[in-house]
A = this chain, B = another copy of it.
Amino acid sequence: MAETPIRIGILGCADIARKVSRAITLSPNTTIHAIGSRSIEKAKRYASDNSYSSTVKIYGSYEQVLDDQDVDAVYIPLPTSLHVEWVVLAAQKKKHVLLEKPVAINTSEFDKIIDACESNGVQLMDGTMWMHHPRTQKMREFLDDSNRFGQLKSVHSIFTFCANPDFLENDIRVKPDLDALGALGDLGWYCTRSILWTANYELPKSVTAFRGPIFNKAGVILACGACFQWEDGKVATFHCSFLSNLTMDLTAVGTFGTLHVNDFVVPFEEKSATYNSATKSWFTELVTGWNPRPSDNIVTTDLPQEALMVREFARLVRSIKDSNSKPDSKWPTISRKTQLVLDAVKASIDKGFEPVEVVS
């Protein structure tokens, strides 16, 4: 007998929630139970535009979603500045939380979120979809292979897209009162996560922001970058920007191997994704070519990565509900480390590009 699906309520009518709504529908262990917006008209239109089932409850406030006894968990794609308020409320109402990134304005706010979730026994997971693609697991195996990859030496990540004038004027990600971290919080989140993931979540000792970040008139970051240093000599760099063509690169170089992926956040295609790997690359005689050459590796998936994310979140929620166990701390820990490093990058920018120690 199939398990009862985890019933999810959605707070707000964010654009990204359209993608996650589809993921909730695709995931075999979840269902959309409710959506709430400050405007019930907006919520109705959104439900209709996105072909929600007629059984989905439509509410004219976020509170009503949280008060619905049939909602097991909520998906929160609200502006970052609202995260602490609504996650804490949701946790108090015993709702498990799938939270959009960046998880908070800073780690101190995120710690309030973690505390609320822990003390109320609810699962917390952030919405970093690519973590759940089977390609990510395959790349992990490559990086962890001491013969094929060896010791990690450097990581380089880029995430940029060329925002249109409307975005640069009106999107929440350029508003200091909504997503104050701008491109750093949005795109830099993915870069930072990818670097930490590559380094098996070992925190860097210090981070130094690159000179020359670009701000909008309100002081929100539109483009920036940083270099990370680890105790053992590993280094990483990232660059993120709202002002350049869509690019999402992750490059990891080890003593024996190299990993390249050029669509790490959102794969070019839904059902099939590629990463390029090289092991013990060297030159041909007279350095006229390479032998061996790097090779492409294809990983297929039936479900898109966002549905796999939702499925994993619901699996954890189900396990808590069924066995009355404690939430899994793996995901909040990873979220917190990512936020901690973002905070350090921001601090380095604020301190005139001085190195900032990353203190857990």
Contact = CB atoms under 8 A, between A and B. Distances in A.
Contacts of A289: 266-270
A161 B154 CA distance: 12
Q: Which 4 A-B pairs have the closest CB atoms?
A: A246-B281, A153-B244, A212-B229, A244-B253
Contacts of A212: 229, 233, 235
Nearest to A153: B244
Given A237-B239, A244-B255, A246-B282, A288 B270 contact: yes
A262 interface: yes
Interface of A: 16, 18-19, 22, 150, 153-154, 156, 158, 160-162, 206, 208, 210-212, 214, 223, 225, 227, 229, 233, 235, 237, 239, 241, 243-247, 249, 251, 253-258, 260, 262-263, 266-270, 276, 278-283, 286-290, 293-294, 304, 353, 355
Contact of A227 (B227, B255, B260): B227
Given A161-B282, A245-B256, A270-B288, 17 more contacts: A19-B286, A150-B245, A153-B223, A154-B225, A210-B237, A211-B227, A212-B229, A223-B233, A225-B227, A227-B237, A245-B254, A247-B251, A249-B251, A249-B260, A266-B287, A266-B289, A269-B289
Nearest to A22: B286
B214 A225 contact: no
Contacts of A237: 156, 210, 225, 227, 237, 239
Contact of A239 (B154, B161, B257): B154
Given A212-B233, A225-B235, A288 B260 contact: no
Most B Cβ at <10 Å: residue of A153, A269, A293: A153
B245 A257 contact: yes
Contacts of A276: 262
Contacts of A208: 210-211, 353
Given A160-B253, A208-B211, A281 B153 contact: no
